[in-house]
Structure 1
Amino acid sequence: MTGVIGFFNSAEAWGGGEKWHYEVSRYLHENGIDVVVFAHRKSVLLEKLKKTNVPHIGISLSNMSILNPYAYAKVYQLLRKFNVASIIINLSRDLKIAGKAAKMAGVKRIIYRRGSAIPIENSLLNRYYFKDILTDVLANSEATKRTVLQNNPFLFPKEKITVIYNGINVDQLPKTSVEENGFRLLTLGRLEYQKNHEFLIRLAAELKQRHLNFQMIIGGEGRLRGALEKLSNELGVQDVVRFAGFIETPLEFINTADIFLLPSYWEGFGYVLAEASLCQKPIIAFNLSSNPELVIEGETGFLVPENDIDQFADRVMELYQDKEKRTAFGKNGFHHIVQNFDEQKQLRKLQDYLVNE
């Protein structure tokens, strides 16, 4: 199709959505496709783009911009100036401004990329944007796709919701880990409510009662660190629970684990699960959200009911006592990720989706 593919993201911080915009825009640009990225002028995304040849424009929007008619006018002018034919919007707040401005500017495809498996509220405003503004929805997992229509099956045409997974570079292999004393249970994620680290601290207390010789290593930073450390002290597991802080090299960190644990309440696409399988680690996670798409029950790991400490602990004990099963799960997980989530395959799917439809 003629025209430019635009990526619109007003977030200042760096996260999964920003990483996706950065990598996909670079891939398309390097393959000769005209793109432009509209990113917050103070964002990490924009700073990274400045080090590339990808066309980019700094913007400044906030949650209150929806009340400012000049914000709509500015976005409208930019879309017209760069001849944007398709636009990919990542944030719900951006949908309210960039989506509407794109509609006014005659943009042919207005795509909302949904990266969180949280049901969309069936509000009057959402019904307006999904029925009158958007032309396509791009989901990062089947679980995310289901949540789009969970509260209203008529919110958007199901056939216009496409699933393309976040890819992982399957050629990146971690350095060989150094053996450490003790059996290592490991997780990695922001110390926020969604990631449910409190469950792991209570799990540590249960495993300690079962006299398991282990270390629980929690990688990541966040607002709940103080509360989690306090709970660790209250439950008397501060000797077996360690907070590793922000992790610069995730694969090398994960590669030191014996078992990878993920107690999240939801995941749009559990990228860290893909990383754990790439490191050939057995996984224990909750049977919810997109986890079953990344973890094959009984083959690459175990999926247990949400917040079921007893069953979670049983699975840890099972893998602790069976090294051959740990090894088999790790190898199976590696093959599952390579076959289904290879970054280059997913990027080619995205290119076909954005350019040829």
Structure 2
Amino acid sequence: MKKLIVGITAEGSVNLLLGQMNYFHTAGYETFLMSPLSDRSAAFCKNEHCGHLIINIDREIAPVNDLKTLVQIIKIFKKVKPDIVNLGTPKVSLLGLLAAKILGVKKRIYTCRGFRFEHEKGFKRQILVAMEKITSSCAHEVICISPSVKALGLQHGIFSDKKAIVINKGSSNGVNLALFDPNDQKLLVEKNQIIETYNLKNKFVFGFVGRIVDRKGINELISVFTKFHKKYNDSVLMLVGPFEMDQIADKDLVKKIALNDHIINIGRVTQQEVPLYLSLSNVFVLPAWWEGFGNVLVQAAAMGIPTISTTGTGTCDAVSDGFNGFLVEPKSESQLYDAMEKLYLDKNLATQFGKNGLIWAQNFDREIIWNNLEKIYTS
């Protein structure tokens, strides 16, 4: 029985692995998640039938603690003796693949979910680029979760074209099309209840799902929507996701949102609840500066919802521009406004984009990702 270790830095990243560990457990692998201890990660391991290898790890650069974590991981690998390690998110990938190379693990894979250096400058940017180069040099293969991530990595000399792989059209774990089903009867009942609760009848809802941080384009979205509502007063903006204040420059943003009667702030929801809140949207908007891929854009497409995102890394691969949505330049408020207005005014176009989204989403069925991962593991 082959032993597979998948590693993440932050416990919230278990959402990027839902179903995957259970798939490989069923396929006959002995599976392990290497991550910090939390109720969320523990529940994930129980549900996915995988062992939990607990590590203490900092997301930010912390030389002393990072060295301690490296030693901790080496000890774990010596004990478990994995045949395959597949590590994603920057810090655990750097330290874990260093440990795996030191110990000569047979199959070392780096799942590159995007590059943090994209929105950094100066010396920190140089350090982050160097870290990515070290991580990739320790891996036998680098799975880039979107074509544009691969292109950016090649541009910066982080890995070679021969080493980098994109599975099908991208995504690290695909989309659970059974969960994101617009015809789910239970969902339709719950949807009507929420429409009543938030007085959404006869409203045009722009939806956003994600962490509420600057990089997701939240400031541009709030600014554009505020202007948009003055002209189209039946419009509503629904925000779904947690505020992460350490990644928000304007600390008054929460107050601005709270004081706007036409912005509904739902907060954090579980992955199982995401389809319900997506279903309330007439148009889904994610004006992120960049992503690794932009899974939620495909989830919205799977729900038959037209989407607006940006030409940034990762997001540009998650929407088929002009087919199921529009792509605008990152940080361009004028282009974002125009795209929102076009889908608001042209109901036929919005309906066609929604129908096309159902077709587009089929490219990202999670079974496609898992089947190809298994081929990589056995090659």
TM-score for the superposition, normalised by structure 1: 0.86
Change (3 A) 1:217 1:84: same
More helix by share: 2
Report the Cα distance in structure 2 between the residues aligned to 1:292 and 1:5, rounded to whole angstroms. 32
Change (3 A) 1:27 1:316: same
1:26-37 residue pairs with structure 2 within 5 A?
26-37=22-33
Change (3 A) 1:9 1:220: closer
Structure 2 residue runs without a partner (length 5+): 119-124, 196-200
Report the Cα distance in structure 2 between the residues aligned to 1:267 and 1:209, rounded to whole angstroms. 30
Question: Larger radius of gyration, structure 1 or 2?
Answer: 1
Deviation larger for 308-317 or 318-327: 308-317
Aligned length: 344
Counterpart amino acid of residue 28 in structure 2: G
Q: Does the residue aligned with 2:12 lie in a helix, a strand or coil?
A: coil
Aligned match for 2:213, one of 192, 210, 220? 192
1:230-277 per-position Cα deviation (integer Å, ceiling 9, x unaligned): 3458xxx81322222223411111111111111111111111101111
Aligned match for 1:181, one of 202, 211, 227? 202
1:153-203 per-position Cα deviation (integer Å, ceiling 9, x unaligned): 2x3222111113231011221422436232111111111121121111111
Aligned-pair identity (%): 22
Counterpart amino acid of residue 146 in structure 1: A
Change (3 A) 1:297 1:104: closer
Q: Is contact 1:3-1:83 (8 Å) kept?
A: no
1:234-253 residue pairs with structure 2 within 5 A?
238-248=260-270, 249-253=273-277
Report the Cα distance in structure 2 between the residues aligned to 1:313 and 1:116, rounded to whole angstroms. 27
Q: Does the residue aligned with 1:147 lie in a helix, a strand or coil?
A: helix
Q: Is contact 1:118-1:147 (8 Å) kept?
A: no
2:109 equivalent in structure 1: 111
1:50 equivalent in structure 2: 46
Q: Could you tell me how far 1:286 is from its partner in structure 2?
A: 1.6
Aligned match for 1:295, one of 300, 306, 319? 319
1:268-321 per-position Cα deviation (integer Å, ceiling 9, x unaligned): 111110111111111112222222322122221111222222232222222222
1:63-85 per-position Cα deviation (integer Å, ceiling 9, x unaligned): 433333xx545433432332312
Change (3 A) 1:256 1:137: same
Report the Cα distance in structure 1 between the residues aligned to 2:34 and 2:71, rounded to whole angstroms. 15
In the alignment, structure 1 residue 38 sits paired with structure 2 residue 34: yes
1:75 equivalent in structure 2: 73
1:83-162 residue pairs with structure 2 within 5 A?
83-119=81-117, 123=127, 125-126=130-131, 129-130=134-135, 132-151=137-156, 153=157, 155-162=158-165
Q: Could you tell me how far 1:229 is from its partner in structure 2?
A: 3.7
2:65 equivalent in structure 1: 65
2:337 equivalent in structure 1: 313
Q: Is contact 1:113-1:139 (8 Å) kept?
A: yes
Q: Is contact 2:7-2:93 (8 Å) kept?
A: no
CA RMSD of aligned residues (A): 2.6
Q: Does the residue aligned with 1:297 lie in a helix, a strand or coil?
A: coil
Report the Cα distance in structure 1 between the residues aligned to 2:315 and 2:164, rounded to whole angstroms. 20
Change (3 A) 1:348 1:270: same
In the alignment, structure 1 residue 286 sits paired with structure 2 residue 310: yes
TM-score for the superposition, normalised by structure 2: 0.82
Q: Is contact 2:294-2:315 (8 Å) kept?
A: yes
